[in-house]
Amino acid sequence: MMPPPGVEDPIAAVFDLSDRAAQMEPTIRRMYRYTATVVVVYLLIMAYLLLVALAHDLVLVILAVLAIGFGAVALSLLRETDRFFRSFAQRHRVIRLFRDAEPAPKVPEGRTPVERLARYLTLSSPRVEELLKEDSSALRFRVDLDAGDHRAPFDLVLMRAGSPLYRYVGLGEAGFAVLAQVGPDSPSLYDLQKFAAEVEAVARHLPGIPLRSILLRVHPAPLSEPVYEYAVGHPITVRHGWTQGRCTLEVISENPDGSYDFVPHVLGIP
């Protein structure tokens, strides 16, 4: 007996449906921006009417206050909807990358471990590849970043600046950053904690919010269990102004067979 049409591979069919929804992301983002702009303008008009009506008409004041309340609720729901769709699109992107990724990613050609890591990040992330096509200066090597009371050295910094509003007060489009250091071949728990503290300190002064922090090992030794557990279970909380985010802490190792090893394996970020 032949199966009904469309159910030969139910998992592939479900993923195809998810693909169609993910393809609508640019349209949904435009709709969100336009709708949010309309709601904000509406709230400003209502606030103006409230000020005008304060000295003349109590009924109009009450109606304006109710209208502002409804507008604020609508804007809040709109932001929650946007947050949900962003989360869906991110999860879909990660699942797709895992589905298409090589079981053991190969170390690309390069003169130094940091240069090879930069090429891997470019090849494995369409977002990074697009950024570097637009602005090759977004990728820098051996940079000392402002950490408040000192300068913190990083071997690789990949940066997309956020909006001017984010850079000044920490609100709006946050951009993103990837930070990497070449670490010891057998890092201790203290090494990871120190690295995480440096990332957290520099995040307050960057024009983009860190999403991925990498400790690179060139001649790796086995990781101890506390170090492994810390890398897997302790993402870094980064803050800038009123914005707070989570930055993955990752140990990447170049294996002798020419492949990469990841703890944890991070895909789809940024």
Contact (Cβ atoms closer than 8 angstroms) between residue 187 and residue 253: no
Please enumerate in sequence order all residues whose Cβ is within 8 A of that of 110, keeping only pairs 6 or more positions apart, or say none. 116, 118, 119
SS3 label, residue 193: helix
φ, ψ for residue 92, nearest 5 deg: -60, -40
Q: What is the pLDDT of residues 64-96, one digit of tens each?
A: 888 888 888 888 888 888 777 777 776 666 666
- Tell me the pairing of strands 243-254 and 210-217: parallel
pLDDT in tens, 25-41: 778 778 878 888 888 88
pLDDT for 48 equals 85
Q: What is the mean pLDDT of the chain?
A: 84
Distances (CA, A) of 78 to 2, 71, 261: 46, 10, 40
| E strand residue ranges, the chain | 139-146, 151-160, 176-182, 210-217, 236-240, 243-254, 260-263
Q: Where are the beta strands (DSSP E) in 118-233?
A: 139-146, 151-160, 176-182, 210-217
- pLDDT band for position 186 (cuts 50, 70, 90): very high
**Is the per-residue pLDDT at 197 higher than 80?**
yes
